[in-house]
């Protein structure tokens, strides 16, 4: 993951915090006995459900577990109107 | 009340045996009557770490099979006459003993000793089940690495499922310089992830390698790791001891050295 530092150069995220967030995710899915495959299936179902009603950006979806309090966080971006219309036009 | 404490980790190579040897020695230094038990049947190591490998006559399996009396198998430490080792067998494997037999053995040991420290093998199979069978308290050893923490989490779950209710954490091989740079998970990060009580922290220290080479744990060199282990022992006895501080702020000296390094 990349972010900008004060002097404007791009720098890698510190490995300590990478380890921390990777561990948190893997442990939560292990504790709940919910594998990454299951997560993927859940994500696909969520998208399908949403897609019936809203133009969803399928590539930008992120589903994550969070500890304390335990919850599932889904980040589902909605396509902007112009993208949506362009898509719509293309399909015609 | 006499306590049976199992030292466990799940992952191998995080410092279980070293921790068991140091806790045993430290508690003996505090005047407690202690026995350390190597439950790693087939891969014994606690004897060499404690420097007692030449004194073994009988072992844990001999005691359980009734080949000898318990007293005949116990080896007295070279420096502390209130510290004993019950070595493991090298020729048998983990299936030589059952959890029921281990419960019986630890019950007998805890009637003679204030602290029974069990050094658990790596893994979650038969050897682990044997080691935790008779324990009322557990010390989980981990290092600030993803693999060790993941295994520690699994072990904590298994301990809880087996009614070992007092579970405490030791974070071993802390590198303050790497934490400072953000390249190692901090003590707080690890506690947050594992969510159990912290018993102590042990910095990464060459002195531990030297002490293990010599077979003399806690040799009195006042190294940071030795201090960490002594604090852990005092906490085990119920004393309140502040934790070693590795979240050091950048002082003028540190800033200067960094300036010259860059």
Q: What does pLDDT average to over chain A? A: 75
| The pLDDT of residue A66 | 67
Does residue B220 belong to the interface with chain A, where contact is any CB pair within 8 Å?
no
Length of chain A: 92
Whether the link from the prior residue into A69 is cis, omega within 30° of 0, is: yes
In angstroms, rounded to a whole number, what is the distance separating the alpha carbons of residues B125 and B91? 19
B218 shares contact with chain A (CB less than 8 Å): no
Residues A21-52: tens digit of each pLDDT: 889 878 877 877 777 677 778 888 888 888 88
Which residue in the set B149, B154, B182 is minimally distant from A23, CB to CB?
Answer: B149
A23 vs B: CB within 8 A:
yes
User: Phi then psi for B217, rounded to 5 degrees?
Assistant: -70, 150
Six token digits for residue B242: 């502040």
The pTM score is: 0.81
Which of the two residues, A55 and B166, has the higher pLDDT score? B166
**What's the mean pLDDT when you consider all of chain B?**
93
At residue A74 the predicted structure's pLDDT band, cuts being 50, 70 and 90, is: confident
Contact B53, B47 (CB under 8 A): yes
B200 - beta bridge partners? B170
Q: What does the alpha-carbon distance between residue B95 and residue A23 come to, in Å, rounded to a whole number?
A: 33
Domain ranges of chain B: 3-261
Q: Which residues of A touch B145 (CB under 8 A)?
A: 19
- CB of A31 less than 8 A from some CB of B: yes
Give A4's strand partners.
Answer: A10
Say yes or no: B183 contacts chain A, CB-CB below 8 A: yes
Q: Do A15 and B145 touch (CB under 8 A)?
A: no
Ranges of chain B with pLDDT below 70: 246-262
Superfamily classification of domain B3-261:
P-loop containing nucleotide triphosphate hydrolases (3.40.50.300)
pLDDT exceeds cutoff 70 at A78: yes
Decide: helix, strand or coil at residue B234.
helix
Burial of B129 (0-12, 13-18, 19+ CB in 10 A): middle
Residue partners of B131: CB distance under 8 A and separation at least 6: B6, B8, B39, B102, B118, B119, B120, B121
**Residue A83 and residue B143: Cα distance in Å, rounded?**
48
pLDDT digits (tens, 9 = 90+) for B89-112: 999 889 999 999 999 999 999 999
* pLDDT > 90? residue A83: no
Contacts A22 to B, Cβ<8 Å: 146
Give CA–CA dist B179/B173, Å, rounded. Answer: 12
> What pLDDT score was predicted for residue A9?
46
How much of chain A exceeds pLDDT 90, in percent? Answer: 8
pLDDT given for residue B255 in this prediction: 56
Asked whether B133 and B99 are in contact (CB, 8 A), the reply is yes
């Amino acid at each position: 993951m990349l972010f900008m530092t004060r002097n404007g150069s791009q720098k890698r995220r510190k490995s300590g915090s990478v380890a921390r967030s990777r561990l948190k995710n893997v442990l939560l899915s292990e504790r709940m006995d919910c594998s990454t495959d299951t997560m993927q299936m859940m994500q696909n179902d969520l998208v399908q459900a949403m897609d019936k009603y809203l133009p969803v950006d399928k590539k930008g979806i992120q589903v994550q577990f969070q500890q304390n309090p335990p919850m599932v966080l889904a980040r589902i971006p909605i396509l902007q109107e112009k993208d949506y219309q362009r898509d719509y036009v293309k399909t015609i | 009340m006499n306590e049976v404490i199992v030292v466990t980790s799940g992952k191998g190579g995080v410092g279980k045996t070293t921790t068991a040897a140091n806790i045993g020695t430290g508690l003996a230094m505090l005047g407690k009557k202690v026995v350390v038990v190597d439950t790693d049947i087939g891969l014994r190591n606690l004897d060499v770490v404690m420097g007692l490998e030449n004194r073994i006559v009988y072992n844990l399996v001999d005691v359980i099979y009734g080949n000898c009396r318990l007293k005949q198998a116990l080896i007295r430490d070279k420096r502390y006459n209130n510290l004993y080792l019950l070595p493991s067998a090298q020729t048998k494997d983990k299936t030589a003993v059952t959890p029921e037999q281990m419960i019986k053995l630890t019950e007998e040991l805890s009637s003679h000793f204030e602290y029974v420290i069990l050094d658990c093998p790596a893994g979650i199979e038969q050897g682990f089940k044997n080691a935790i069978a008779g324990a009322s308290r557990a010390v989980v050893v981990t290092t600030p690495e993803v693999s060790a923490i993941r295994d520690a989490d699994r072990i904590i779950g298994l301990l809880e499922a087996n009614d070992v209710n007092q579970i405490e954490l030791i974070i071993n091989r802390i590198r303050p310089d790497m934490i400072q740079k953000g390249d190692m998970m901090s003590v707080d990060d690890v506690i947050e992830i594992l969510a159990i009580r912290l018993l102590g922290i042990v910095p990464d220290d060459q002195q531990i390698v030297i002490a293990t080479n010599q077979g003399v744990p806690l040799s009195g060199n006042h190294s940071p790791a030795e201090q960490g282990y002594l604090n852990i022992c005092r906490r085990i006895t119920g004393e309140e001891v502040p934790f070693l501080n590795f979240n050091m702020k950048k002082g003028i000296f540190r800033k200067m050295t960094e300036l010259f390094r860059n």
